[in-house]
Structure formats: structure tokens, C-alpha cells
Structure 1
Amino acid sequence: MGHVHATSLFCGPEQGLKHDAVLTHEGGVIVSIEAAAKPEPGRRLVIPALVNAHDHARPAASSFGSLNMPLETWILRSPLITPPDPYLTAAISFGRNVRAGTGTMMVHYTKPSGRMGMADEARAIARAAGDVGIRIAFALAVRDQNPLVYGDAAEILAGLPPVHRAVIEQGLPPSPPSPQAYLDLIEEIATAIAGPMVDVQLGPAGVQWCSRPLLEAIAAHSARTGRRIHMHLLETVYQRRWADQAFPEGVVHYLRDIGFLSERVTLAHCIHARPGELDMIARSGARIVTNFSSNLHLHSGLAPISDAHRRGCAIAVGVDGVALDEDDDALREMRLVQMAHDGIGFERTWSRAEFLGLAIRNGRRATGAPGAGWLQPGEPADYAVIDYDRLDRDAIMPVDPLDLLFARGNASHVTEVVVAGRIVARAGLPTGIDLPAMEADLRAAYRKAIDAQSGFLSAWTVLEGAVSRWYTETCGCGA
């Protein structure tokens, strides 16, 4: 049995804050919330554990020179971040997330190591999640078209010097699986790792990377099995223009008509979704995960999140492996999303309590985590403890704790994180792994591996220029 004394405890958007309360949990479930018999030293704000509803469990890409570029060239540098050790890479990502107050995380796995079979790699990632103590959803990303650009890349490849072309072609994804082979692999992975702390999902990478037969097979499989789907959609202006050309009937209309859209689906980004498309997403019950800092880093644009919310879309928040300072700080990311979309002047999109509640509830639905995430008896014991003395550093007068949290809260204020009743982070570090030592090991492994990428790096400037020209001149995607 465990307990925490809260100066203020956020029970949920309807119940609001309780003050001077003691939350008790047993067997991973909250059993009671009662008035404190006496005060304890130090002030604590206790909130539900956060949900990082879109991520890839990978290292910070800026360390590999992926800076100040759009997704279309940023993603082509991904060979540099191939995990040298899938367990180590995932454990570090999970550890960085829990220390910032995250209890549940989506892993849209886009870059396998290639060092082992995919089911074994999924086992390694699930083992890392178990060691850290975080809940995860795992979706193996799949793509079967457009590996270099959104269209025919033959002209680009033909224009590269032969030595560079050989290197680039070697780094392209291997031959894609058939739709049925992918579905069989997902079920194999589910048999291997699915359980109370792991939800296995289908992971089409995005409509520009997935053929119609693949998308239709995934939609049918989800409808038949109930398995959730996680997919990028309309993240960049180039994806928008490609979709308009490839789907004259409308890309979201197409997804609706094939039965892809449903309450089982979570769509990441939707930056360039139009009002009518947002209405269709809302009616389907699908969720939108917004990734504000990632969108800024990649020059993707500002998503219409307040409009989507007004139209009835369920909104969640993801870090997308970036965050503003590339530190996996989901608390700061929540604040950025809330402030960016909260309205102008006296008009407000949501209260802070409403936003925190919807981000947690919708995030848990996106990841298959149990319960709504509220701090109430019968709900999972997933919560984060905020050092309110540090948050309210001036202590001049009473201030609404949630307003103060959204004004200045970040990972440095998180003193303890509990998931399923287990303390997974304390005093800024995960309890289940030695994060600093693991980070040092991973840096050393990447520094050793980077020497093997000299050919790719020498070809990069030529490739980047050719791809940039293709998008701005050839494909009709220029401004």
C-alpha cells in the first residue's frame, strides 16, 4: 500500500482540486482519497500522470545534424539515428519521459535497428518499458511506397554521382512487406509483448507512404480485431499537396469511405487538415495528437487545434521525440499547446483544468491505457507529484495551482512519478534504470557508429539539394 499527501490534488476536470488530501493506493489502484489528519512539511501538487500520445522512442536528432530543415529532408537523415541497441535507446527515451511526469507513452516505431528479428526487437523495447515502469502503446510503422520523395525518385537518383547514388540506395528501406505479411507480424508482436502495460497497435506511417491496398487491409484488420491504429496525417504542406493530387476525392473522405476512420484511430499532427476534414474526424471518434514543438522544429506549421476542438475532435498531446529543448519534457509541451491554442483576448478555448483533463483522457484512449486517468478511487494509481514550494517560489498570495503549473511548470518541478502503484521516478531520475550511465553508453555507441556513415555524410549535401529542388520545382509543391 502506498500513499501521497497533497496540498492540492487534481482529481479530474469535473471534480477539480481537493486540498490537504491523502491519496492511498494498493495493487496499482487508487483505493481512497481522504482529508489529511494533519499537515506535512512541504507543499505538493499532485496531478494525473501525463500521456505522451505520439513519440518514436529515439534520441534527439539535432545531435546528428538534423537542424533547421523540413520533415522531407530531416527524415532522410534517419540512417544516422538507427539504434545501435534497441533496448538501450528505448530505455533512455522512457526514462527521460517518466522523470518529466509521463506515465504512458505511444511508441510509433519508425526506425528498427535491423540487428534482430522485429518480434525480438519489440520484446527488447517492451523489456525496457517494464524496467522503467512506463505504460506504452507499440505500433510498428509500415510503408510500402515513396521511400525518397512523394513520387517517382528515378530522376533524383539518376542525377546523383554514382558513388553517392550507391550510398543513398543502400540506405533506403528494404523491400516492404505485403499487407498480409505486415498484419501477421503485428499479431506475432502482440502475442509476444501485449499485456496490461503494453498495447500493440497497427502503425501505417502515413497516407503518402502507404498504398491504398495497405491502408484498406489495415482498416479491415482493425475493424475485425478491434486493434487500434496510429498514423501520421497531413503533417506538412508537401503532404497536403501530394494528397490533393493522389486523392481527388479527398484523402480524409477516402479514409472514411474505406472504414479506416473510427474511435480506434489516432492521427498525429493534422496540421494541414481542412475544416470539413476535421468535421469528419470528429464524427468518426478518431483522435488528433498535436506535437507543437516538433511542428516548430520542422517548419511544418501551426495546427488548427482550437478549431478542431470546437468541432468536436478529441485532442491529445505528443512530444514526438523532440520537445522544445529536445528533453522529452511533456509538462512543458502541455503548457505550450494550451497557451498556443487558448484563444485571443477574453475568448478562451478551454480552462486549464479542462485542457489537462482532455489531454490525459484522450491520450489514454489513444494508447489503450486503462481508465480515464482521473485521481479517484477505482482508477489506476498513475500520478505525478509537483514540488509546489518550488513552483510557487515567491509565495506572495494564494494562486490557483493549475494556473501556476501552466504558467511555469516543467520537468524540474516533478519530484515523484507513480505508475500502476510503482514509483518510477524520484528526484529527477527514473528509479528502474541508471539513466546517466545508459546515456553515456549510448553516446559512446553512436560516436563509434558514426564513422561508418562517412559515405552517407559526404553524399548528404548533394541529396539534400536534389530533394529540395524536387519538392519546390518538380512536384508542384512550391509556394
Structure 2
Amino acid sequence: MTGTAFAESLFTGETLAANVALTHQDGVIDAILPAPTLPEGRRFIIPALVNAHDHARPSMTSFGASGMPLETWILRSALGTPPDPYLAAAVSLARSARAGCGAVMVHYTRPSGTLPLVDEARAIARAASDVGVRLAFAHAVRDQNPLVYGDSAPVLTDLSAPARAAVEEMFIRAPTPPSAYVELVEEIADAIGGPMVDVQYGPAGVQWCSTPLLEAIAERSAATGRRVHMHLLETPYQRAWADQTFPQGIVRHLKDIGLLSERLTLAHCVHARPDELALIAEAGATIVTNFSSNLHLHSGLGPVAKAHKAGCAITVGVDGNALDDDDDALRELRLVQMTHGGTGFERTWGRAEFLELALRNGRRATGAPGPGHLVPGAPADFAVLDLDVLDRDAFMALDPIDLLFARGNTSCVRDVVVAGRTIVRDGVPTGIDLPAMERELRGLFRNNLPRFQALKAAWPELERAVGGWFRHACCG
């Protein structure tokens, strides 16, 4: 497979080059050469973006999960359990690809229940292959605290008998033994792992995972080198629970049990403290910030600039909850940079520096090869942007990276190439019929909703009981 892309400007990941032709063969960049003449239409080539934390699911807003904190949002999102894991993943991954992403982490928190878990992982991997993105896959596991961060009995007692029955049927499960989980991950890796798929361990979060489960994951990760992807300190209630449960410090606890290492990626860290950021930086772990998701769920802004200055590896994820519910990774990059890039004349990072570090750390977190630089010998993973859209007035010569961070969004993405394969052409995914799949998936969701009628009926009671627990009983 060979190809050539022309651009008025190209960002290698380190520098800008003008008027070039990028050639690639068999998934690898051959050369970046001067191009005295260019085709009509101004283009800007950048390394393919990375969506470093996502869940391969539709927008939960469509299921009434809007304007609420994570602690009730996550329960409400059960209404959006995918009726078909392949379709749900393909639609989500194609939307990420359309926004310029070449690699996506799927922290798979809500299986459909229609297939054995290994077969469900196969369906997700097939969706990624059809779309053409690199996939990091972590089957999320939890073995405690299904409703609140503590004993669920007071919440269940507060419900009527029909509501309690519906809630117990949906959320109360026998915990997965640690040994069974790590063996399942290895089985999944044997089934789908490969050059385009990196299988990782996926503890849902410390508040949802017992210490024996986290210890088993840490031990197996150290023995195999397999990466670990998990949530940490996303909400103020998780902060309060952590302080009560681990007075020595929750990040110190992760270090003590061997989980805190360069193999660990931590999503959110909205409520991480300076001493915890220092430990994360010392270990070489990665933090994925999910800015729009944090806004939607009222979780907070997060100490992203402080984490960067402390030496933490920072990258960006969409978390299935972008600002406009559109999986726009370009806009997400801009929001993080604008919010955390500094005030006045003081800057946290330059724009090109921020783009490079988000790409480099994102590729490491997802197991994608190399730092994402567009140089000969590197993977042919890049996005072609429409410079005429970014520079709509064309009054004078401007830095295209400045234009990207001022105006960039999915609408300026023309082509996306991953491992030498064009997975988006003229703004349209090539591997699947996205509009047709979206229509089919919507129909399946509508047909599936009656399955959750008991939970919908119980929702007012459940929301009130859980909200009351977190307001009055949470975390001591």
C-alpha cells in the first residue's frame, strides 16, 4: 500500500515544514520531500490525534443522563447499554476517526451482555479494524461499591420493593475473583492482541476495586509488561472517600501495592493534590484529562497545568462526552490548551509543544508505536486538514498551529491515514457506512429500551436515595 499526501504546511511533531509531499509505503513514511507545485486546495498535515480515554458508547445525553454528577450519571447510563457491541463501537470509533484520531483507548465499562466477554472483545476489535483505527482495549472490572462508595444497604432500604428489585437486578452482581479477571484479560489478549490492538488491564477505579484485585493486576502487569488503564479521583466524592479509606494517601497506596508505574494510565485526576502529582510524575505514569466530560458531570477543571509543571505525562481523551456530544477530539485539545495553557503573559506550554506532548503521551498510553512524529521510518499515521477552512480570510501568512488552536474542529479534517490506510477521505470514514450504522443503532436502542422499563420506573427513587447518601452519608 503506497500513497502521497501534499501540504502547504506539515507539522512533524517537532517542526513545521512548508510545501511538502509526504510519501508512504507499507504503513511507513518513506520521505518528506519539497514539492515545488501543490494540488489545488491548501492543506495542513499533522500527526494523527489520539483519543486516550473513551468507552465506545453513544452519548448518554440521549438517555437522560445530563446535568448530573458522575455518581448518578453512571447509574442512569445503564439505559444506554449497547444492544449490539459491534455497531456501538464502530459508530463511536468512526466518529473519533472523523475528528482526526488514529488511535483510541476503549475502557470497556458497560458490556452488552449479549455475548461472552471474549467474543464481545472480538466484536470491538472487528469494529476498530473495519474503521481502521489503532485500538487500546481494557475490559473494565469492579468488585465492590456497586451503588455508592460504601455499604449499599441504606440506599436499598430507602427504596420501595419494586424499585429495590429493579436496582438489585441491574447493579448487584457477584464480584469477579482477581485470578479470574487477570486470566480473562490474557484470554482477550490471545484473541485480539496484535500490531493494531493493545490489550490492557482495566480496573474501573480504586473506589470500585478491592485491594486484592488491584494487587493481582499490579503483580501480573509487572510480570507481563501489560499496561493498566483506570479512573482516579474524578469527583469530589471520590476524593472524600479516598481520604477516609487511605489516610496515608490513595496514590501512595497505589505505589505501595506496585500499581503505580510507567505502565499505568490514570483518567481524570481532577482532584489530585500536589504531593500525589509528584508521585505520579516520579513513577512515569500518564494522566489523561477529559475536560468536556468533567464539565458535563460537574466534576471540576483539574490541575492539568500543575501536573505538567510537576513533570507528569499529560494527554487528552474525549471520554464519550465531548462538549457538543460529537466526539470532536480537535475541539477537546483546544479546550484543554485554552483552559490550562496559562494566563496573561505566562504560559504553561507553547501550542506546538502541547500538541506534541499530547500526541506522544497518548500514543504511549494506547500502545501505539513511536511518539507520533512524521519522519521517514515512522508509522504513516497522519491527518490532513483543510487550511482554507482554518485560514478562511487568508489576509496574511499565519502559523497554521495558531489557526488550529483558534478554530480547529472536525469540520476541517479532510483525510486521516493510519498505518498507510486512508480511513477518512474528504471527511467521510471509508471503512464503514457511518450514517447507515447510526440509523441502525438508533433503531436497536429504541427497541431495547423496554428491557429497562423497571429501572426507568425506579429512577426517581434511586436518584433521590443515591443523591441523599452522597450528600449526607458519604465518606465519613
Pair in the same fold by TM > 0.5: yes
Matches within 5 A, 1:155-170: 155-170=154-169
- The answer as to whether partners of 2:268 and 2:302 remain within 8 angstroms in 1 is yes
- The answer as to whether partners of 1:95 and 1:429 remain within 8 angstroms in 2 is no
Deviations 1:305-330 (A, max 9, x none): 00000000000000000110010000
Root-mean-square deviation (CA), in Å? Answer: 0.8
For 1:166 and 1:225, locate their aligned partners in 2 and report how far apart those are by CA, in whole Å: 42
Could you say which residue in structure 2 is the equivalent of 1:101? 100
Deviations 1:392-429 (A, max 9, x none): 00111111100000000000000000000000011222
Unaligned ranges ≥5, structure 1? none
Could you say which residue in structure 2 is the equivalent of 1:139? 138
- The answer as to whether partners of 1:91 and 1:125 remain within 8 angstroms in 2 is yes
Matched length? 475
Could you say which residue in structure 1 is the equivalent of 2:408? 409
Letter in 2 for 1:429: V
Could you say which residue in structure 1 is the equivalent of 2:32? 33
For 1:476 and 1:191, locate their aligned partners in 2 and report how far apart those are by CA, in whole Å: 40
* Structure-2-length-normalised TM-score: 0.99
Could you say which residue in structure 1 is the equivalent of 2:9? 8
- The answer as to whether partners of 1:205 and 1:231 remain within 8 angstroms in 2 is yes
For 1:26 and 1:37, locate their aligned partners in 2 and report how far apart those are by CA, in whole Å: 22
Could you say which residue in structure 1 is the equivalent of 2:279? 280
For 1:182 and 1:101, locate their aligned partners in 2 and report how far apart those are by CA, in whole Å: 33
For 1:17 and 1:433, locate their aligned partners in 2 and report how far apart those are by CA, in whole Å: 33
Matches within 5 A, 1:30-179: 30-179=29-178
Letter in 2 for 1:278: L
Letter in 1 for 2:124: I
How much does 1:454 deviate?
A: 1.8
For 2:401 and 2:351, locate their aligned partners in 1 and report how far apart those are by CA, in whole Å: 7
Could you say which residue in structure 1 is the equivalent of 2:248? 249
Deviations 1:353-402 (A, max 9, x none): 10000000000000000011011011100000001011100111111100
Letter in 1 for 2:433: D
TM-aligned CA distance change 1:79 to 1:39, over 3 Å:
closer
TM-aligned CA distance change 1:261 to 1:354, over 3 Å:
same
Deviations 1:293-312 (A, max 9, x none): 00000000011000000000
- The answer as to whether partners of 1:28 and 1:420 remain within 8 angstroms in 2 is yes
For 2:354 and 2:146, locate their aligned partners in 1 and report how far apart those are by CA, in whole Å: 37
> Once structures 1 and 2 are overlaid, which stretch shifts more, 385-394 or 167-176?
167-176
> Once structures 1 and 2 are overlaid, which stretch shifts more, 112-121 or 169-178?
169-178
Letter in 2 for 1:125: I
Is residue 194 from structure 1 mapped to residue 188 from structure 2 by the alignment? no
- The answer as to whether partners of 2:24 and 2:30 remain within 8 angstroms in 1 is yes
- The answer as to whether partners of 1:391 and 1:409 remain within 8 angstroms in 2 is yes
Could you say which residue in structure 2 is the equivalent of 1:19? 18
> Once structures 1 and 2 are overlaid, which stretch shifts more, 72-81 or 172-181?
172-181
Letter in 1 for 2:190: T
Could you say which residue in structure 2 is the equivalent of 1:432? 431
Letter in 2 for 1:185: L
Matches within 5 A, 1:320-469: 320-469=319-468
Letter in 2 for 1:339: M
- The answer as to whether partners of 2:7 and 2:38 remain within 8 angstroms in 1 is no
For the residue of structure 2 that corresponds to 1:105, the secondary structure is strand
Letter in 2 for 1:245: Q
**Percentage identity across aligned positions?**
65
How much does 1:174 deviate?
A: 2.6
Letter in 2 for 1:85: D
How much does 1:37 deviate?
A: 3.3
Deviations 1:261-303 (A, max 9, x none): 1110100000000000000000000000000000000000011
- The answer as to whether partners of 2:48 and 2:100 remain within 8 angstroms in 1 is yes
Letter in 2 for 1:354: E
How much does 1:173 deviate?
A: 4.8
For 1:452 and 1:212, locate their aligned partners in 2 and report how far apart those are by CA, in whole Å: 34
Letter in 2 for 1:2: G
- The answer as to whether partners of 2:244 and 2:475 remain within 8 angstroms in 1 is no
For 1:327 and 1:191, locate their aligned partners in 2 and report how far apart those are by CA, in whole Å: 33
Deviations 1:184-227 (A, max 9, x none): 00000000000000000000000000001011111111000000
- The answer as to whether partners of 2:149 and 2:475 remain within 8 angstroms in 1 is no
* Shift >6 Å, 4+ stretches: none
- The answer as to whether partners of 1:58 and 1:321 remain within 8 angstroms in 2 is yes
For 2:369 and 2:87, locate their aligned partners in 1 and report how far apart those are by CA, in whole Å: 27
For 1:44 and 1:456, locate their aligned partners in 2 and report how far apart those are by CA, in whole Å: 50
For 1:323 and 1:421, locate their aligned partners in 2 and report how far apart those are by CA, in whole Å: 28
For the residue of structure 2 that corresponds to 1:54, the secondary structure is strand
